[in-house]
Amino acid sequence: MGARTVRGKAKHIRQVRLPKTCASCRFNNATDCQKGYYGVRLYRDPKGTFHVGVCIQRTDLCLPLDQFLESAVCGEINKVREQEFHILTRRGRHL
């Protein structure tokens, strides 16, 4: 998906899915999940506790911040981030 920033620069958004978290999700198709994994989101409940969400459609995946930091999902995100970084930096050298 391509777009232009406010300053007119080209921006390309790659669709990323979390291999384990998204694999068995009922929304994991081109119609129901158009953006894929887009990053973590922080939410704050009425008691002031922060929760981390990884999917805009699956609030059941939200975890309190301290639990998220120790979770398999957090590790999965770090691994995907590293893989994407290497893919994109390799691609940049060949442009």
- β-pairing, 10-12 vs 41-44, is unpaired
Q: What tens digit of pLDDT does each residue of 59-77 get?
A: 999 999 999 999 999 999 9
* Full domain range(s) for residue 67: 2-93
End-to-end Cα, the chain, rounded Å: 19
Query: pTM for this one?
Result: 0.77
| Domain total in the chain | 1
Categorize the per-residue pLDDT at 35 as very low, low, confident or very high, splitting at 50, 70 and 90: confident
Gap between the Cα atoms of 66 and 58, Å rounded:
19
Instruction: Find residue 51's DSSP bridge partners.
Output: 43, 64
**Secondary structure of the chain: what % helix, strand, coil (to 5)?**
30, 20, 50
